[in-house]
Amino acid sequence: QQQVKQSPQSLIVQKGGISIINCAYENTAFDYFPWYQQFPGKGPALLIAIRPDVSEKKEGRFTISFNKSAKQFSLHIMDSQPGDSATYFCAASKSGTGTYKYIFGTGTRLKVLA
Amino acid sequence: DAGVIQSPRHEVTEMGQEVTLRCKPISGHNSLFWYRQTMMRGLELLIYFNNNVPIDDSGMPEDRFSAKMPNASFSTLKIQPSEPRDSAVYFCASSLGAGGPRGEQFFGPGTRLTVL
């Protein structure tokens, strides 16, 4: 029940295309869903996050779509660029004992071709 | 402003040796997290501290692993004795307050551990 399932494992997209990464969770107590971006040799960095009281959040070319009833959420990267090539992790968390504990998906390696 | 600092960046050791990984969180942050990243299991939370107190160590794989946070600006993750299956990238992250929507987790650059 604590798992977050992420797909696909890897993704190749042409420059200018749309990249879509999907995640699913089981624990309905989760109340915060961040996406992290990781470049090779670096630590993950927060990209965008959403709470379950909204169905969509957009920041620039990045959009999270959230389906509470299906317990699924996805990251859409519009007009994908070679600089977006990285590994993307979804996560889910719930507050407890005063600190948010993240459960991460297994990651999606995105390659955007020039 | 310095981010999360981890040392060493790379560590190669032999099976059975003690390994100590170090982390300096962002100044003012009061939550600290240790993660392990492998190809097979992705990012796993090992332990986290709030105000220097360990809150949840359920992710620590076994008694060979231990973590301490003697003060707000320093934490260690120790593996004794180390085994080849401990080879991974270990990340430290810190956040202000509870984290989540009230404060994101900032990750360090990681320590790549190789146990021969």
Concatenate the DSSP letters of all residues of B66-109 into one string. EEEEEETTEEEEEESS--GGG-EEEEEEEESTT-GGGSPPEE--
SS3 A82: helix
d(C-alpha B54, C-alpha B63), whole Å: 15
- Among B105, B107, B112, the residue to mutate for chain A (most A Cβ within 10 A): B105
Residue bearing tokens 């942050």? B29
Is the sign of the CA dihedral A48, A52, A57, A63 positive or negative? Answer: positive
Q: Which residues of A touch B45 (CB under 8 A)?
A: 101-104
pLDDT in tens, A50-79: 988 899 999 999 999 999 999 999 999 999
* Partner A contacted by B4 (CB < 8 A): yes
- Residue positions counted in chain A: 114
B37-55: average pLDDT: 90
Q: Torsions phi, psi of A105, nearest 5? A: -75, 175
Q: Are residues A75 and A64 in contact, defined by beta-carbon separation less than 8 angstroms?
A: yes
**B81 CB-near residues (< 8 Å, 6+ apart):** B15, B16, B17, B18, B64
* Partner A contacted by B104 (CB < 8 A): yes
Question: Is 80 exceeded by the pLDDT of residue B116?
Answer: yes
Instruction: Tell me the shortest Cα–Cα distance from B83 to chain A, in angstroms.
Output: 23
Q: Which residues of B touch A89 (CB under 8 A)?
A: 42-43
Q: Which residues of A touch B69 (CB under 8 A)?
A: none
* Partner A contacted by B90 (CB < 8 A): no
d(C-alpha A2, C-alpha A93), whole Å: 9
d(C-alpha A82, C-alpha A89), whole Å: 18
Question: Is 80 exceeded by the pLDDT of residue A104?
Answer: yes
Q: Which residues of A touch B95 (CB under 8 A)?
A: 99-100
* Partner A contacted by B56 (CB < 8 A): yes
- When computed from its CA atoms, the radius of gyration of chain B, rounded to whole angstroms, is 13
- Among A46, A95, A100, A108, the residue to mutate for chain B (most B Cβ within 10 A): A100
Instruction: Tell me the shortest Cα–Cα distance from A2 to chain B, in angstroms.
Output: 12
d(C-alpha A12, C-alpha A23), whole Å: 18
Q: Cα angle at B66 between B19 and B13, to 5 degrees? A: 15
Q: Are residues A39 and B97 in contact, defined by beta-carbon separation less than 8 angstroms?
A: no
Residue A87 bridge partners (DSSP): A38, A109
pLDDT in tens, A23-37: 999 988 888 899 999
Query: Pick from A34, A101, A103: which is nearest to B48 by CB?
Result: A101
pLDDT in tens, B52-103: 999 889 999 889 999 999 999 999 999 999 999 999 999 999 998 766 666 7
**A69 CB-near residues (< 8 Å, 6+ apart):** none
CA A13 from chain centre, in angstroms, equals 17
